[in-house]
A = this chain, B = another copy of it.
Amino acid sequence: MEKEVKVIVVGGDGFCGWPTSLDLAAQGHEVVILDNLSRRAIDLELGTESLTPIASMQDRISAASAIGAISWSQIDIATEYERTRDAIDHHRPDAIVHFGEQRAAPYSMIGDRQRRYTVDNNARGTHNLLSAIVEIDPAIHLVHLGTMGVYGYSKEFGRIPEGYLDVTINSTGAETDILYPANPGSIYHMTKCLDQLLFAFYTKNWGLRITDLHQGIVWGTETPLTVTDPRLTNRFDYDGEYGTVLNRFLVQAAIGYPLTVYGTGGQTRAFINIRDTAQCVRIACENPSRDDRRVRIFNQVAETFGVAELAARVAELFDVEVRPIENPRKELPSNELEVENDGLLSLGFDPLLLTDGLLTEVEETVGKYRSRIREDVILSRARW
């Protein structure tokens, strides 16, 4: 085992945060979750619910004691700065993993209120963590969940590198690498681009050590740890705002609802299984960035697929129809996508690739909670 570390996981109650917290604890690391329970509050706002029944945070923490050392405080890092700083100062972690952002693109595009909440919460929360780290101990390693969506999908930029793009300045002929030009597709994605500028400045000025993980679209739900106790069950979102595309297809398949492909389905995206999210974040914590002059950026992805291709695969496997619908989003009707992911691979990341077996395994979980599926939340209410 790697050296044990102490990790604060901000947003450890969420879809990615919870299984990651369990994975860290199972490897002997000490985990302190800070979470404001906002994901559960947004379910109340939208009238949605996880397909899988999830336990209260109190019950999750009780059950997690069988896995390892995990504690939890209800703290909002965006609006409760003093409590956030005090918690970091009290625990003096080796690393802070930052999942504490509003993470759904469609939610961020519903309207004025959601746009402003997403920007206020995400920008302020990230900056509060940075400012607190400078105050308390600049050696704390910050591991942030970014998104592949910061890059956009311009063909002219070629294969997507890990964060930095090699360019030649036309006027001077100088060759240099620059932070990949931001091209976000939603307010949510834009906030992750804001985060990148915050990280770059704090690293440049105070020598903070930061790892930004640009994650692909997550699919799957359970991990080997979340199935060990019903109270450890992970959430499964299938609604039009928070459900990610492959998970939504699997829910649609379970009830014979035609798979809703946006437009041509020619969008190619990068994917990663939830088990790999946990694995990658743990790898980042165990191998802190040693670079105090520039942010370490990794693409946290396993493989890429076209949306139509994914739909066809699910349709064939579970004998359901595909129905193209008008794309509610502003995005290219089709794109190519090649992504580098050497950074995490070089640290030992062993990606789980999509197989019929894995799809069937998720479909079994979905089938178990079939009666909880509500058709009326499947379609996205956001239009942009």
Once the chains are docked, how many angstroms separate the CA of A112 from the CA of B131?
Answer: 6
Contact B115 A119 (CB under 8 A): no
**CB nearest to A115 among chain B residues:** B131
Contact A184 B201 (CB under 8 A): yes
Once the chains are docked, how many angstroms separate the CA of A330 from the CA of B184?
Answer: 31
A346 within 8 A of B: no
A155 to chain B, nearest CB (A): 8
Q: 1/0 contact trace for A130-142 toward B, CB 8 Å? A: 0110110000000
Per a CB cutoff under 8 Å, which of B132, B159, B178, B182 touches A171?
Answer: B159
Once the chains are docked, how many angstroms separate the CA of A228 from the CA of B263?
Answer: 63
Once the chains are docked, how many angstroms separate the CA of A194 from the CA of B196?
Answer: 10
Q: Using C-beta atoms within 8 Å of the partner chain, give the interface range for chain A.
A: 35 or more
Contact A120 B112 (CB under 8 A): no
- A170 proximity list for chain B (CB < 8 A): 166-168, 175
- A120 proximity list for chain B (CB < 8 A): 124, 127
A310 within 8 A of B: no
A1 within 8 A of B: no
Within 8 A of B (CB), among A197-215: 197-198, 200-201, 204-205
Contact A158 B169 (CB under 8 A): yes
Once the chains are docked, how many angstroms separate the CA of A112 from the CA of B167?
Answer: 36
A143 within 8 A of B: no
- A10 proximity list for chain B (CB < 8 A): none
Once the chains are docked, how many angstroms separate the CA of A16 from the CA of B166?
Answer: 39
Contact B174 A156 (CB under 8 A): yes
The 9 closest A-B pairs by CB, nearest first: A156-B174, A158-B171, A166-B170, A158-B172, A167-B167, A168-B168, A178-B181, A190-B201, A119-B127
